[in-house]
Amino acid sequence: VKYRHGNPPLQAIMKIAQKKFLFEPYAELLGFHIDRLIGMKRVPPTAWVELPIPWIQGSVSIMPPFYMQWLQLFVFEYPDCKSIIRTDKDGVKWMNLSAQLWMSDVRNAMESSVAPPPRYRDYMSHHLEVTPEVNASLAEVSDLFVFDYIIGNTDRGMSKNNYAVGGCKSNCHLPPEQVHKGPAQFLHIDQGSAFYKRPGPPNNPLTETEHQSSKFCRFRKSVWQKMYDMRTMKGRPRAKTLWGRMKAEVPADIFRHVKDSRAMAAQTRMDHIITHTVEHCFPKAPKHEVLCFNDT
């Protein structure tokens, strides 16, 4: 659902819990907070809001009848969604959802100026040298894999659900006020499939199995340092870990639906990145080649 407010309009994409995608709004909010905590700043501002159900119905009423039927059956009347609907003293029903700022000048990342080179995975394992020509795009690739590994996102690949803001290469007809200011970069939107599973996503090069170890060894220095500073370690107060920061900053209501154990798995996966870097990457390559990407 898209929400518009003001003139010129401020727009947001609203995500609601639904059958088959119960975690969608919660994952969007958790993903935003984790993005900010590790210092990537690739997720658009995302808020946790409560809206009257008549407003939601009104926004769908302009669409074909099928959408209203779907909304009624798979959201408002779906048993697992009823617990997040409340009725106020006037009899109006309200529902919590996530609202993410709508961004202009966005396109498929593979069609942008920061599209990665064909053998981007080989660069991540030091098989190829990172040259100035590919440095910016590979930094975005590294961030994307790290972010999706931490949140457990199983529904994104380099050419699937992967977007960039700025970096238009053809048919660039936006008015000047809508053109992205600054260098092109990946934009991490649509985290709706995250936090369902505790192991890392199967298509992510940071995920290890019994028979396959990760060879991923290139990171953005500032992001890695923030993860290192929030890792689990003996004597560190929980409040200073990623999990502790999440508990302090994310509305408690989120954890009634995405249970603590699923959200805590993000800490475990982030800790694994640090352990993997220290035990596997640093012994094989100079530290400056592992932490080779700087902030733009």
Per-residue pLDDT for 152 more than 70? yes
Per-residue pLDDT for 5 more than 80? no
30-44, 109-123, 198-212, 268-282: least confidently modelled range: 198-212
Measure the CA–CA gap between 114 and 120, rounded to whole angstroms: 12
- Report the percent of the chain where pLDDT is more than 70: 97
Per-residue pLDDT for 198 more than 90? no
Q: What is the CA radius of gyration of the chain?
A: 20
> What is the residue-averaged pLDDT of the chain?
92
C-alpha atoms less than 13 angstroms from C-alpha of 292 in its C-beta half-sphere: 25
- Under the banding of pLDDT at 50, 70 and 90, the label for residue 171 is confident
Residue 110, pLDDT score: 95
125-129, 156-160, 233-237, 274-278: least confidently modelled range: 125-129
Q: What tens digit of pLDDT does each residue of 11-27 get? A: 889 999 998 888 999 99
Which DSSP string corresponds to 15-38? E--BTTBTTHHHHHHHHHHHHHHT
Residue 2, pLDDT score: 62
Overall average pLDDT of the 244-261 stretch = 93
C-alpha atoms less than 13 angstroms from C-alpha of 237 in its C-beta half-sphere: 4
What is each CA distance from 22 to 48, 56, 71, in whole angstroms? 15, 17, 13
Q: What tens digit of pLDDT does each residue of 79-113 get? A: 988 888 999 999 999 999 999 999 999 999 999 99
- Under the banding of pLDDT at 50, 70 and 90, the label for residue 6 is low
Taking alpha carbons only, the member of 63, 76, 57 closest to residue 19 is: 76
Give the start-to-end residue ranges of the domains of the chain.
Answer: 2-291
Q: What tens digit of pLDDT does each residue of 229-247 get? A: 999 999 999 999 999 999 9
Residue 60, pLDDT score: 85
- Under the banding of pLDDT at 50, 70 and 90, the label for residue 253 is confident
Measure the CA–CA gap between 133 and 115, rounded to whole angstroms: 12
Give the strand order in the sheet containing 163-165. Answer: 106-108, 163-165, 185-187
* Beta bridge pairs of residue 93: 87
Pick the residue with more confidence: 226 or 65? 226
